[in-house]
Amino acid sequence: MTSLGFSGEIEAADADELIRKRRRQRKDGSLLAQRLAGIAGIVESQVVPRLVNSYRADTLIPDEPEAVLPEPEARVVERLADLTVKDSSAAKAQVQALYDDGLPIEAIYLNVLAPTARLLGKYWETDQMHFADVTIGVGVLQQMLHDFEAAFQVDAKAWQPGLRALLMPAPEEQHTFGLFMIGEFMRRAGWDAWTGPLPPAKELEFLIKSGEFSVIGFSASSDNRLSDLADTITLVRRLSKDHPICIMVGGYVFAERPVLVEKVGADGTASNAKDAIKLAHRMNTRRIKHP
């Protein structure tokens, strides 16, 4: 098993191959990618254009049987939440130990990091932690996502034209960990997923009118963001009238009350990153068959 340290390094042979691959991919970047990369704040060195394969709509929905991912004990998540706030080095060492003991990276993402982020959110909502502490803790988790990225994307599928998603938080939303995790899973599944803060109106207009995105994703953690989110989705619908797109939403508020999906004008929601990929594939296939 390749040993991944939290310096972001992997074995030399793997690292060299990853560098060569990404250099080849960058050569194939579209003019849109070059322009988008220059928009301040919309992406943070996350855009890696994929190799171009022939596009077939009937192959977009993955049908591989899913393996059951092992789950660590609940106390592992509780201890990790505490460590992310009090001792980031110890927190990273705990996750590294799980990886070294054979826990798959996918399980670390879905069954360790994601529930830890949710637990930190609950601590804040119930006044068990200050917002500043929760921000520090989630920042540590997000750094772990970055450190694991190279190993997580080793088996990533090549990008297919038509699979491009723009993922953003709802207006004023500050919880973005889940959004970045979904981006990682989508890139691994062959999507060109762009994640970043909600841009100013002019930049959002350019992004939507470009016609390059087939799926737009928004994340919200509480219902006090829903009115502004609904207005933003209405704007996106209007800007994309010449090239219809699919809009999915996620976050605590939609997980607890799925009925809110229709209220804000979205097409669907998913409870986790893997389900978000399935939803994106299904919506995109319907869009292609019924433009």
d(CA 242, CA 211): 8
The string over 229-249, giving b where at least 16 C-beta atoms fall within 10 Å of a residue's C-beta and e elsewhere, is bbebbeebeebbeeeebbbbb
- pLDDT value of position 6: 33
- Residue 95 is predicted with a pLDDT of 94
Structure tokens at 36: 């988008």
Query: Alpha carbon 188 to chain centroid distance?
Result: 10
Q: Give Cα 54 distance to the centre of its chain.
A: 25
To the nearest whole number, what is the mean pLDDT of the chain? 76
Spatial distance between the Cα atoms of 143 and 177, rounded to a whole number of angstroms: 10
To the question of pTM greater than 0.85 for the whole model, the response is no
Tell me which CATH code domain 74-152 carries. Answer: 1.10.1240.10
Tell me what pLDDT residue 162 has: 77
Residue 215's SS3 state is: strand
> Encoding tokens for residue 150?
């190279």
SS (H, E, C) 51-102: CCCCCCHHHCCCCCCCCCCCCCCHHHHHHHHHHHHHCHHHHHHHHHHHHHCC
| Inter-axis angle of helices 114-125 and 74-86, nearest 10 | 70
- Of 38-42, 66-70, 198-202, 243-247, the one with minimum mean pLDDT is 38-42
Q: Do 277 and 242 meet the contact criterion of CB atoms below 8 Å apart?
A: no
**Residues present in the chain in total:** 291
**Tokens read off for 191:** 């999507």
Band (pLDDT 50/70/90 cuts) for residue 96 is very high
Q: Give me the residue spans of the domains in the chain.
A: 27-60+160-289, 74-152
26-30 long-range Cβ contacts below 8 angstroms, 24+ apart: 28/52, 30/212
- Report the topology of domain 27-60+160-289: Rossmann fold (3.40.50)
Give CA–CA dist 135/124, Å, rounded.
10
pLDDT, residue 42, reads: 36
Task: Annotate 114-125 with three-state secondary structure.
Answer: HHHHHHHHHHHH
